A and B are shown apart, each in its own frame.
Chain A
């Protein structure tokens, strides 16, 4: 499947290798080696996905993520050598959709990229109401009392997945499969952090969630419709 990916990483060997692998999959890679130049490169190349290393000279990877996220809902996948929760959570909270820990199996990375790139084909036009939100599925828009709430595509997909079956409890693994498209067990922290992000955007009181509700020991569900 054709796609354009912006690779932001300071390690030239790694970047080059990534390029080789991506090209082998029919994806067109673009490279940037410096945090300062990342945003400009993003605007210039308009990629379908950004592959972002956290350790960057100049502007830090987290800040680059925030900058890009502020402008666009493009899927951002973090690359990091650190798998500590703190680092992962910070990265995800700053706007990344997924993170991949080095070293990774190239096949795995490609599968994840595809999953993120694939989500553009969305079905029927419908409007779902959940809580006091109104979700326009085809238009990828969520609004409350007329005011639009900006969500990244992943956050939107998460909300829709839950809202389509209100009161149905989804386990984290199921959500990873449905929303992220990962069939094999991936890190459930992804789900946790994205739920937090979603809550902070759509809930009236994120500390007392009513729309995205935790079911202890099982997973999450959408509250009363």
Chain B
């Protein structure tokens, strides 16, 4: 879930803008609301305090008057009650009005308490702290406290009572009447703060709702605004995608003259230019391919005639004088060379023009290998090499162009025979679920460091002075590597001076896939030692029974 959210965040400007607007405005609105609330609260409380103090002071002076007039009376309780009654408002109660509680303190003797007129107000509502602070002071003190009211028994007849409390303001004053006597009277005015509190609650609710509404509206506005920008951008992205897919005639529709319209116009210009370029390149490629095809045809017809003529002469050379006879022979062999060079050149130019087509068929690679080995056997025998084939028992079906693969294998085997210097040549076939790999290993002259990549270059020769009996064109490996790539496979080379070389052809079994790894490593496992190479990392297979010169053994290999 979290991953989906973060992905949406990353992929959409709109989501980012809207949510950050939401967050920021929520914070700002919350802050403002808080400030406003505090101000209102302060204001309300100050107002209440002022009016309460005024009321209280008035009451206190009344009390003083009353007490002075009754000074000397012995019934302090009655006096207190009279004063408290006089001070309390006609309609007492917990709603917005106030209560008065009076105390009389005589040091050393009992003190009298006159609770509030409202019997439900508990005297404990007056905090002790305040009472202590008042001792002996003629100032007034006030504090905020909770006024506790007795709501009556929880259930009829129960001794347990429910209590409710409300916030309140208590202002107390103390006086000694007559002045200097031991009679200290304290009067506490208990103001209910319910009214201000309700007002505050109302303000708070209003702020909250309007704040939320504001934030939501802001988010909505942000969404609308970004939509104006994002929609054309998204459309541009979609059209660009379609362009990339190859639909070169896609264009944007610029509306108006603003920045987005300019974007659209530039985009269209770019698309036009791209389309022109691509068309031009396609045309060039087409022309090139036609040229290759035409050249091919033009060259081949006279070459055929020359070929036939040379052949006729070659057949009849017994009747010629030695010079002419020899000429006829040379003509024949060089024509062979010319023909293969021409063929290779045309093949590689087809690869270059991208005109090489793959005719894939499902074939058993083992048959191909056997055929090519049979065909190149005479050459190998002539060079003193023995070819051993190691392949699995099961068919290795692969979708490939048989003609091309045979050409690759023929090239590899001929090279192995040429450079093998009479050493044994091994051909391995290994198949796994996705690829088929064929390796041709010789133990001959090998390659120098760095040459394993050069070897696929056109007309590259390992040793320019080497005698070439088979008259290779120098393009064989280049064509082979291109053919491998055409299949989506690859051809790799390894070699070491004196240890020989190995060429590994890896092809995907399914036409259209690309080969990423090969079951046969390019560097053979025996490169560092001199033992018989194992095949596929499984337990090394049995050594070939014997190498009969001039024959090919197909061994029962273990499938990797």
Contact between A105 and B307, CB atoms less than 8 A apart = yes
Q: In chain B, residues 167-223, which have Cβ atoms closer than 8 Å to a Cβ of chain A?
A: none
In the complex, A81→B298 CA distance in Å? 8
Does B339 reach chain A (CB closer than 8 Å)? Answer: yes
Q: Which of A106, A187, A217 contacts B308 (CB 8 A)?
A: A106
Q: Which residues of B (498-554) have their CB < 8 Å from a CB of A?
A: none
Instruction: Tell me, yes or no, whether B367 is within 8 Å of chain A by CB.
Output: yes
Contact of A17 among B293, B297, B305, B397 (CB under 8 A): B305
Chain B residues positioned under 8 Å from A185 (CB to CB): 371, 375, 406
Q: Is B359 an interface residue (CB 8 A)?
A: yes
Looking at the complex, which one of A14, A107, A217 makes contact with B364 (CB distance below 8 Å)?
A217
User: Given the known A-B contacts A102-B300, A103-B300, are A13 and B305 also in contact in the complex, defined by CB atoms under 8 Å?
Assistant: yes
Stretch from A18-26, A35-43, A70-78 that touches the partner: A18-26
Task: Report the separation of the CA atoms of residues A192 and B402 in the bound assembly, to the nearest whole angstrom.
Answer: 13
Selected contact of B311 from candidates A81, A82, A107, CB within 8 Å: A107
Contact indicator A103/B304 (Cβ below 8 Å): yes
Closest to B402 in A: A188
Residues in A with CB closer than 8 Å to B309 are: 17
In the bound complex, do residue A104 and residue B363 qualify as a contact, i.e. CB atoms below 8 Å apart?
no
Asked whether A187 lies within 8 Å of B403 as measured between CB atoms, the reply is: yes
A16 to chain B, nearest CB (A): 8
| Contact A20 B303, beta carbon cutoff 8 Å | no
Instruction: Write the B382-410 contact mask toward A (1 if CB under 8 angstroms, else 0).
Output: 00000000000001010000110010000
Size of the chain B interface, CB-CB below 8 angstroms? 30
Known contacts A21-B312, A55-B297; is A217 also within 8 Å of B395 by CB?
Answer: yes
CA distance A24 to B308 in the complex (A): 12
Q: How many residues of A contact B (CB 8 A)?
A: 29
Q: Does A84 sit at the interface, judged by CB under 8 A?
A: yes
Given contacts A82-B293, A84-B357, contact A11 B301 (CB under 8 A): yes
**A21-B305 in contact (CB<8A):** no
CB distance from B329 to the nearest CB of A (A): 16
Indicate whether A208 reaches chain B with its CB closer than 8 angstroms. Answer: no
B283-315 interface mask toward A, CB cutoff 8 Å, 1 = contact, 0 = none? Answer: 000000000010011001111110111011001
Residues in A101-127 with C-beta less than 8 Å from chain B: 102-107
Q: Which 3 residue pairs spanning A and B have beta carbons closest together?
A: A81-B300, A81-B297, A102-B300
Q: Which residues of A contact B (CB under 8 A)?
A: 11, 13-14, 17-18, 20-21, 24, 55, 81-82, 84-85, 102-107, 171, 173, 185, 187-189, 192, 216-218
Cβ contacts A to B, 19 pairs, < 8 Å: A11-B305, A13-B302, A14-B301, A14-B302, A14-B304, A17-B304, A20-B312, A21-B312, A81-B297, A82-B296, A82-B297, A102-B304, A103-B304, A104-B307, A173-B371, A185-B375, A187-B403, A188-B361, A217-B395
